[in-house]
A and B are shown apart, each in its own frame.
Chain A
Amino acid sequence: MLIMGDIPQKRKPHRKEKCMSKTPILKIENLTHVYSKGTPFELSALNGINLEIGRGEVIGIIGHTGSGKSTLIQHLNALIKPTDGKIYLDGKDINESKQSVKEARSRVGLVFQYPEYQLFEETVYKDIAFGPKNMRLTPDEIDVRVRASAQFVGIGEELLERSPFDLSGGQKRRIAIAGVIAMLPEVLVLDEPMAGLDPAGRREIMENLMGYHQETGNAMLIVTHSMEEAARYAQRMIVLEHGRVAMDGTPEQVFSREKELKEMGLAVPEMTELAEKLREYGVPLEGTIYTVEQMRDALLSLKGGLQDA
């Protein structure tokens, strides 16, 4: 079985070593972005964002439309430049030079919304190979990466020579993600990777991505509208509102601020809402509840308590 860990590469320390490293892989300092500055359409999308992204972190980024999520992630690999503030990748300003921009493009991989519309090559293989090719890797290295990336997203060898346009929407989405994974980015940023997929498809894509994360130890930022899914996979959640970081913490910490989330127009997990209703009815539930499992266990422990009494 091919795994990414077998691929020899420069500047890619072993996973454990990475997790211990103290410098954040990304540091965002006072990031401000204003669109159409100086025109009547001037729109300030980000207002002084400060964030540190650790190596190996999985982070869910939440916020309603217009909160600045897309603007933020497009800064992370220098697709757009800050109006003010800096982004450091591994301690180095990514907008410092042409070279640093180029480096950021391969070390920070961006998967846009509905990436399947960006496939363009004749075969699945060529599409996935596009990124690594641009990194001037040898044909052998490219081959290893293409096959390993396809495997990560659950695309079988038999599909590699097919035209991507003959495949289903879900398969195309996987191929597009594989194309970015093949560059082995140290930070993988995905904008709504599950949008439009059925429940099984959503689960599969997330499991593929978590498999990639566990294998490589690389950081992953996932922009999503689904609080439930963010909470299931991420250890940390960042909530954006009006171009500012409104919340930053573990899912427990974020969901304990249910009222504020609702005021921002965000959907609170169903189980959090149910917990609130039950407390109103006098059911003594403790702690923050946001998954079915937590609710089940909390209720069963209550029942156990009743029976013992």
Chain B
Amino acid sequence: MMDIAIKTDNLTYFYNVDETGDQDIPDVLDNVSIEIEKGTFVAILGHNGSGKSTLAKHMNALLLPKGGTVTAFGMDTKDESLLLEIRRRVGMVFQNPDNQIVSNVVEEDVAFAPENLGVPSQEIRRRVDDALKTVGMYEFRSHAPHLLSGGQKQRVAIAGVLAMDPDCIVFDEPTAMLDPSGRRDVMEIIHKLRYERGTTVVLITHHMEEAALADRVIVMSDGHVVMDGKPKEVFVRVEELDELGLTVPETTRLLFELKNAGVDLPLDALSIDECAKVLADKFG
């Protein structure tokens, strides 16, 4: 029990019925039960409308279950008296960095949340500097956020969440609006949080290469968890993922096609290095 960060128990959710009174709209989340262990990096995949963002928003009580329960570090998200503590311990980073920045100076923006939490000012200074260094934006601390690139803004938004000193951060498609170098930066930060700080990371993404870096991949479809396992276990299910409108990393696709052509190869050589080694053995 103690080592579970987020737990959903038969979580069910639907958005309000429209004015036509149509009651037949399907549940966005239908009895979802998952446990996310502390200190792990979990990627959630799923097509648009699969319910993955809705699931993420339950993790820090941005949405409340219409059925079942969600607990964050043992705290029931429905308990209003715990709301502030839940939000402090489970931070959220969204797709669009422009919607997450509130101040005219980078360091003030990062200090915004701890100031509101009533953290002593010396401690705020320490946290802000530390957060900005972690995301590699310390030298931009006195810049105006709106003049930064999308990738830099997203790093500032992440620093703002880090300054709350959370134990878990939920990233909802944080790289969707970024260019390749911005994406790389965000993924490096996630890696650092997971391995250096021991932060629990939940990453919602459409990028299979990003999910391949996680400890665990959960695949959602139509409000259900349809796959759950290590990246190597999930991505070998090429045909099922195709049917779900998802895809697999190109390395897996290549191995799959070669296998179909009669070459005996393992499908789980996910990284380019692993894939190259496996292929060099066969074809070198």
Residues of A bordering B, CB below 8 Å: 64-66, 114, 166, 168-170, 195-201, 225, 228, 265-267, 269-271, 273-274, 277-278, 280-283, 292-293, 295-296, 299-300, 302-303, 306
Contact = CB atoms under 8 A, between A and B. Distances in A.
B61 to A, nearest CB: 24
Contact of B173 (A196, A269, A278): A196
Given A270-B251, A296-B257, A225 B279 contact: no
Given A278-B279, A292-B257, A199 B206 contact: yes
Given A197-B48, A278-B279, A65 B179 contact: yes
Contacts of B150: 65
A278 B149 contact: no
Contacts of B272: 270, 273-274, 277
A195 B276 contact: no
Given A66-B149, A277-B276, A283 B283 contact: yes
Contacts of A195: 176-177
A89 to B, nearest CB: 29
Contacts of B46: 198
5 contacts: A195-B177, A198-B246, A274-B272, A277-B276, A283-B284
Q: What secondary structure prevails in chain A residues at the interface with B? A: helix
B151 interface: yes
Contacts of A170: 48
Contacts of A306: 283
Contact of B245 (A200, A225, A228, A281): A200
Given A278-B280, A283-B283, A199 B247 contact: yes
Nearest to B176: A196
A295 B261 CA distance: 13
Contacts of B250: 228, 269-271, 274, 292
B280 A65 contact: no
Given A198-B48, A292-B254, A65 B182 contact: yes
A238 B252 CA distance: 29
Interface of B: 18, 46-49, 95, 149-151, 173, 176-177, 179-182, 206, 208-209, 245-247, 249-251, 253-254, 257-258, 261, 263, 272-273, 275-277, 279-280, 282-284
B176 A64 contact: no
Contacts of A168: 48-49
Contacts of A269: 250
Contacts of A197: 48, 206
A196 B282 CA distance: 37
Contacts of A267: 180
Nearest to A293: B257
Given A166-B18, A200-B47, A271-B250, A225 B283 contact: no
Contacts of B177: 114, 195-196
Contacts of B263: 299-300, 303
Nearest to B207: A199
A66 B148 CA distance: 11
Query: Lowest 8 CB-CB distances: which A-B pairs, in order?
Result: A200-B245, A281-B280, A277-B276, A267-B180, A199-B247, A270-B250, A196-B176, A198-B47
Contact of B258 (A196, A198, A228, A299): A299
B114 to A, nearest CB: 30
A281 B254 contact: no
Given A168-B49, A196-B176, 7 more contacts: A65-B149, A169-B48, A198-B48, A199-B47, A199-B245, A281-B280, A292-B253
Residue of A114, A199, A277, A306 with most partner-chain B CB within 10 A: A199
Given A65-B151, A199-B246, A292-B250, A281 B179 contact: no
Contacts of B245: 198-201
A228 B207 CA distance: 13
Nearest to B241: A199
Contacts of B49: 168
Contacts of B209: 270
A177 B251 CA distance: 32
Contacts of A270: 209, 249-251, 272
Contacts of A201: 47-48, 245
B284 A296 contact: no
B180 A302 contact: no
B278 to A, nearest CB: 10
A300 B283 CA distance: 9
